[in-house]
Amino acid sequence: MLKKAELQELGRVGDRISFLYLEHAVINRQDSAIKVMDSRGTVFIPAALVNVLLLGPGVDVTHRAMELMGDCGLSVVWVGEHGVRQYAHGRALNHSSLLLEKQAKLVSNKRSRLAVARKMYQMRFPDEDVSKLTMESLRGKEGSRVRKAYREESKRTGVAWSHREYRIDNFESGTPINKALTAGHQALYGLCYSVISALGVSLGLGFIHTGNDLSFVYDFADLYKAQYSIPIAFDIVAKYGNDKDISTYTRLAMRDVFKKNKLVVKMVADLKYLLDAEDDVADGKVMSLWDDKEGLVDFGVQYHEYKDEGKDDEE
């Protein structure tokens, strides 16, 4: 039986392949690699070098394979055909709660939550000062920005555009551009999910979106749609028209541009910036005990009972 890899032995999030999509295949484990078998043959994927694995219809995966993915911090997302719907996800490898604690503290205070939300909007409006705008005003500006992005991409590519429409129960009923947009956004969500969970941050504690278990994923993905998924969707439709594989072409184009632009590296830096944790590094001590007077004390120590226990409570 192979020894479980130490955290220091695993590939950094920023150095890994962004994502892979598999469908109609049998997934097993051979040593430290994921063994994928389908009608075309067999390939081996180094589990420690991939950020997120999208499992589509017709996939059979063994317990041993899932064990390897968990040990290597490989995020697994079960999706619909061509990766356009998300059904479930597997937990990634997290050892430090440092960023999670920062996120929880920031989102739990109205003032700091607003500050982070403004940071997110400021990243989208680098030439404007949004530090005094209300959330209502920011939503209005964002809506105008996205509508403008659609119009400009339509004009640039010649692809007709009317409005955004997506039926979760009938993906094929959409227009080619709407199907391409959905596929592009889903690929972006998958990568955002991987980075967020790999860094130990909560997927559900959003600053703008709220009430959903992926609220922060939607917050984070909105930072990149106008630069990545929207123009790529229009490019793909301009090239392939109403091709039945439009979502596949879009997903592959997203994968290529993620790699070319090293988006994972940028996402890691952006996430730390949003949570005011750019200079914070875990010191290797994964766990401590909380104390109401001393803050943090050592974990794994046999502490002795004190005679004055409960004295403060009585007073």
Q: What is the largest CA-CA distance in the chain?
A: 80
Residue 225 CA to residue 223 CA, distance in Å, equals 6
Residue 73 CA to residue 46 CA, distance in Å, equals 12
Among 34-38, 76-80, 232-236, 305-309, the least confident range: 305-309
Residues 221-251: pLDDT tens digits?
999 999 999 999 999 999 999 888 998 999 8
Instruction: Determine contact, residues 69/47, Cβ cutoff 8 Å.
Output: yes
Residues 247-296: pLDDT tens digits?
899 989 998 999 899 898 899 899 999 999 876 554 445 667 777 777 77
CB within 8 Å of 96: residues ≥ 6 apart: 200, 282, 286
The predicted pLDDT at position 10 comes to 47
**Range list of H helices, 86-228:** 98-107, 110-124, 135-157, 176-198, 215-221
Residues 49-97: pLDDT tens digits?
777 788 888 999 998 888 888 777 777 888 777 666 666 666 655 567 8
Token pair 């659609």 is found at 150
200-209: string of b/e by CB count within 10 Å (b at 16+)? bbbbebbbbb
Strand partners of residue 49: none
Residue 173 phi, psi (nearest 5): -75, -10
Residue 17 CA to residue 143 CA, distance in Å, equals 32
CB within 8 Å of 66: residues ≥ 6 apart: 76, 90
Residues 163-203: pLDDT tens digits?
888 776 666 778 899 999 999 998 899 889 878 887 889 99
Residue 107 CA to residue 92 CA, distance in Å, equals 22
User: pLDDT-based confidence at 12, cuts 50/70/90?
Assistant: low
The predicted pLDDT at position 307 comes to 55
> What SS3 state is found at 38?
strand
The predicted pLDDT at position 97 comes to 81
